Structure 1
Amino acid sequence: MKKCIYIIATAAVLIACESRTYEEISDNTPVPETVTYNKDVKAIIDGNCVSCHSPGAQALTNYTQVKNNIDNIINRISRPNGDPLKMPQSGSLSPAQINIITKWKADGLSEN
């Protein structure tokens, strides 16, 4: 009887455990609507970039600065964890936030 309970308990533990990566459990849903700076991107930049990138040559405090640096921004936010050039330095943006910024570029970098 003890052996049967042990086997059932072990099986339950093994079945209950999942091994899923961050990418599998993160919201990586494509963005269906047109993305604009003021509606979608500004809040991400303000919340994650402006604390370090304001003011100065690498400032990201307005539409023009972000638009003019979009290729570098996408490059830096898309780097793997552990890469010393990954931004933001305080931690990674979510896949959904990266999708929004990437789609903004694909949609033509509209301000409004």
Structure 2
Amino acid sequence: MKIIQKLCLIVCTVILVNCTTAEIPLVDQNPVNRTVTYTQDIQPIILGNCLTCHSSVNPRNGLILETYEQVRNSSETGTLIPRINDAANPMPQSGLLTADRRALFDQWRAGGYIE
């Protein structure tokens, strides 16, 4: 009986140690070789993936992502980009965006949030 208890403890420890809330890096991702803009690149992703929960009609956690200013503010001073990259607590909650879409947000940030 003690062997089973020890084995269960070891298995649980291994599972807990391997759990992470770290961001998933964009490994083997081709860099975006052009200027990423809100209107061309980011807005379509927001419209297709975020407004179900983050529109002005009953916004989840009070976060509204309907305008450039709202998305930029949440990206610069909020948690939008970290949450988009967080495998343990992703936004959208249905799962991580594809790596190429997440790379667009990172490039948009690196380029200065161009509208």
Structure 1-normalised TM-score?
Answer: 0.69
Report the 3-state secondary structure (helix = DSSP H, G, I; strand = E; otherwise coil) of the residue aligned with 1:69.
Answer: helix
Whole-angstrom distance in 1 between the partners of 2:80 and 2:28: 20
Give 1:90 shift.
1.4
Whether contact under 8 Å (2:86, 2:96) holds in the other structure is no
Distance 1:35 1:103, change over 3 A: same
Matched, 1:69 2:81: no
Partner of 1:78: 85
Bigger mean CA offset, 50-59 vs 88-97: 50-59
Separation in 1, partners of 2:38, 2:68: 7
Distance 1:101 1:27 in 2: 17
CA distance in 2, matches of 1:52, 1:27: 31
Kindly provide the amino acid, as one letter, of the partner of residue 111 in structure 2.
D
RMSD across aligned C-alpha pairs, in angstroms? 1.8
How many corresponding residue pairs? 84
Who is 2:15 aligned against? Answer: none
- Matched with 1:108 is 112
Higher CA-based Rg: 1
Which of 63, 87, 110 is 2:91 aligned to? Answer: 87
CA contact (8 A) 1:50 1:60 kept: yes
TM-score norm. by structure 2 comes to 0.67
Contact kept? 1:27, 1:95, Cα under 8 Å: no
> Percent identity, aligned pairs only?
40
C-alpha distance after superposition, 1:22-47 (max 9, x if no partner): x9xx9822111010000111001111
SS in 2 for 1:101: helix
**Please, which runs of 5 or more residues in structure 1 have no aligned partner?**
1-22
Q: 1:1-112 maps to which residues of 2 (within 5 A)?
A: 28-55=29-56, 56=59, 57-71=62-76, 72-80=79-87, 83=88, 85-111=89-115
After superposition, give the CA deviation of every residue in 1:73-102 in whole Å (9 maximum; x if it has no partner). 11101112xx1x311111210000000011
CA distance in 2, matches of 1:78, 1:91: 10
